[in-house]
Amino acid sequence: MKFAWAVLGTLLLGVAGGYVLAGGGDTPEQGDRPTGAELAAASAEPDAEGCTQPVLMVVRGTITDPARMREYAQALQAAELYPATSGYYLHVGPPVDVFEGEYPDNAFTVIARFPCLAHAQAFWYSDTYRELVEFRKHAAEVLVTVYRELDPPDFMEGRLEGGRFIDVPPVDELR
C-alpha cells in the first residue's frame, strides 16, 4: 500500500478519474453524448429539479505509470474543472481500513461530490477533460461510476450539521 499512497499523496489535488479502460471499454462516440460545451452550458442553468440531487462520482483504479499520473494530476488541477462544476473531493487514496478482502498495493479510490448529475456530466464530458484523459489514459486503469446521494434517514436528525456528524453515541454503547 506504500507505493499507491506515495503516488496518491501527490495527486490529492488532481486525480479524478477517467473512462472505463478495464475490459476494453472505449470513449463514447461524440454523437452518443452531448458535447462538453452543451453540458457545460446546461450545468450553468439549474436542471428541472433545480440541481438539488447531489451525486457521487466514484473512481476505482490501478496506477500503472506513476510519473504520467502525476502529469495528469497537475494538468487537472491547473484546468480548475472542479471549481467550475462545483465538485469537490470526499476521498482520495487508499482505504483507512480493510474489513474484508485484499486491497492491491497500486490501487486507489477517488470519491467526488457534485451538486447534481448535470454538473458531473459537465465535468466528465467537457472538452477540457476529454483532452486531459490523454494524460491519464496510459497511467491507470479505472472504472468510473456515478451514484445519487441519499438523504439521511429520520433517525439522523440532530446528529448531522452541514453534512458532519455532531451527536453520535460512544462506541461503548453500541456493543
pLDDT of residue 167: 84
Q: Which domains does the chain have, with CATH numbers?
A: 2-43+53-150 (3.30.70.100)
Q: Return d(Cα 83, Cα 25) in angstroms, integer.
A: 28
Helices (H), the chain: 2-9, 36-44, 66-79, 81-85, 117-125, 127-137
**What is the rounded distance in angstroms from the CA atom of residue 89 to the CA atom of residue 107?**
17
Percentage of the chain lying above the pLDDT 70 cut: 70
What are the tens digits of pLDDT across the range 104-150?
989 999 999 999 999 999 999 999 999 998 888 889 999 999 999 99
Query: Which residue has better confidence, 135 or 29?
Result: 135
